[in-house]
Copies of this chain bind each other. A is one copy, B any other.
Amino acid sequence: MKFLIIGGDAAGMSAASRAKRNDPGIDVTVLEKTEDVSYSACGMPYNIADSEREIDDLVVRQADVFREKQDINLLTGHCVESIDTVKGIVTGAGTDGSEFSFPYNRLLIATGASPVIPELPGFDMPGVMALKSLADGRRIRKYLKENNVRRAVIIGMGYIGLEMCEALRTRSIEVDMVKPGPGFLPWMREELSSVIREEVASHNTRLYPGHKIFKIESEEDCLKIICDGITLETDMVLVAIGVKPNSKIAKEAGIDLGLHEAIAVDRSLGTSVSNIYSAGDCADAFHVVTGERAWIPLALRANRAGWAVADNVCGKEVELPGIAGTAVFKIFNLEVARTGLSAEEAARSGFDPEEVVIKTRSRAHAHPGSTSIRIQMTGDRKSGRLLGCRMVGKEGVAHRINAAAVALHCKMTVQEFFQADLAYAPPFSPVWDPLLTAANQLLKKVGGK
């Protein structure tokens, strides 16, 4: 059995390792276009924040360990260009220009995602960078070190942009953030996003939402970002306006794509072509709340899907229930978390949503050090189901969201969730956990079912 994997990051290497654990006799080949495999991509902003560290600290397992200890035929510098799904052959070119082709019995496409770079003048200049691969992280670290960067502009205000904002501010670099869209974190309600906006602003970062970007120009001693209404001068630009799935070779091979051009997979991670699987940031998933396809590329799903592909390749018949869209990030002193749908998203999926926003204490009455937690919670009036939750606070947010995520997996009603026996001690929450307080308010709108 020849199990061929395109892509050596989270999904690809998880699949490779697990396949060899499942069946030491299986022939596993991984084709990775870069020189880097198995690293903590999400750790890059925190690594970049510290001028004393090396980007390679983030490598979880060296390529040679996969090769020598795990007997995986791991080939870096191998860029796949096409898949012949009839003959079962993958072809491409090495970084040295040599051509290669590999036959497969089972193929995993784990090509990941790439940063979206606007097709505008100046975005290909030195000093204009994105952050997705370890090579990107290496490039940013090098640029910061060699160019005495004092000012940076981040284009985009999503979680990578915000994490990088904190990283650069930690290195005392001035940060401006700009984006074309008007809203700041538009996937949450103003009552929550305004708290984050204030936190960012209080760390001497200027935010310019709602400014269309025209071009970047290079002056003698700076880069100029020419936007509608403003021009920002800076030493470097980080482009963080989102990612797109690397699905081109899959599309050209006739494999079905779904939402956002991500590779469409079933619950077994199979694509529309037999014997070809996809996992990681290039593939979609089913959403446990809507039951519909969703493309929310995150690390846990990539690892989980890689494992599931390996299990299926080895004959285990595994199906994944899907994702709840659970995510968390830290921005300065705030924790921001989400799972499931907002009312706006829920309405688009055919629910009859109601939503509440509450503000509670993070600790018990009269307990010192208490701060605020704000929760936006969404439920369905027809079924009474809990649909989603967003949360912001200085403490008790990152892990608290998981209770709601589990509830979404179980399709709990708001009423049932409100009855959950959650933990209480004065340093950690009020007697009624903030999640329960939100559920109780929401219950008044969706009714007990």
Contact = CB atoms under 8 A, between A and B. Distances in A.
A402 interface: yes
Contacts of A337: 423
B330 A422 contact: no
Contact of A420 (B399, B402, B424): B402
Contact of A406 (B288, B326, B403): B403
Contacts of A79: none
A320 B299 CA distance: 38
Interface in A414-428: 416-417, 419-428
A405 B421 contact: yes
A254 interface: no
Most buried by B among A46, A300, A326, A368: A300
Interface stretch (A119-127, A341-349, A359-367): A359-367
Nearest to A298: B424
Interface in A387-432: 396, 398-403, 405-407, 409-410, 412, 416-417, 419-429, 431-432
Contacts of A403: 399, 402-403, 405-406
A78 interface: no
Contact of A405 (B412, B420, B428): B420
A46 B406 contact: no
Given A40-B364, A421-B326, A428 B46 contact: no
A328 B422 CA distance: 9
A42 interface: yes
A133 interface: no
A421 B288 contact: yes
A321 interface: yes
B58 A421 contact: no
Contact of A399 (B326, B399, B405): B399
Contacts of A435: 402
A46 B60 CA distance: 42
Nearest to A325: B421
A329 B322 CA distance: 34
A425 B328 contact: yes
Most buried by B among A46, A60, A422: A422
Interface in A39-53: 40, 42-43, 46-47, 50
A324 B410 CA distance: 16
Contacts of A275: none
Given A323-B421, A324-B421, A328-B428, 20 more contacts: A42-B425, A43-B364, A43-B367, A60-B365, A301-B421, A303-B431, A330-B428, A335-B428, A339-B421, A399-B400, A399-B429, A402-B423, A402-B435, A403-B403, A403-B405, A405-B421, A405-B423, A406-B417, A409-B412, A410-B410
29 contacts: A42-B364, A43-B426, A300-B422, A300-B424, A300-B432, A300-B433, A320-B419, A324-B420, A326-B423, A328-B428, A330-B427, A335-B428, A398-B425, A398-B428, A399-B399, A399-B400, A399-B429, A401-B423, A402-B423, A402-B435, A403-B403, A403-B405, A403-B406, A405-B422, A405-B423, A406-B407, A409-B420, A410-B410, A410-B412
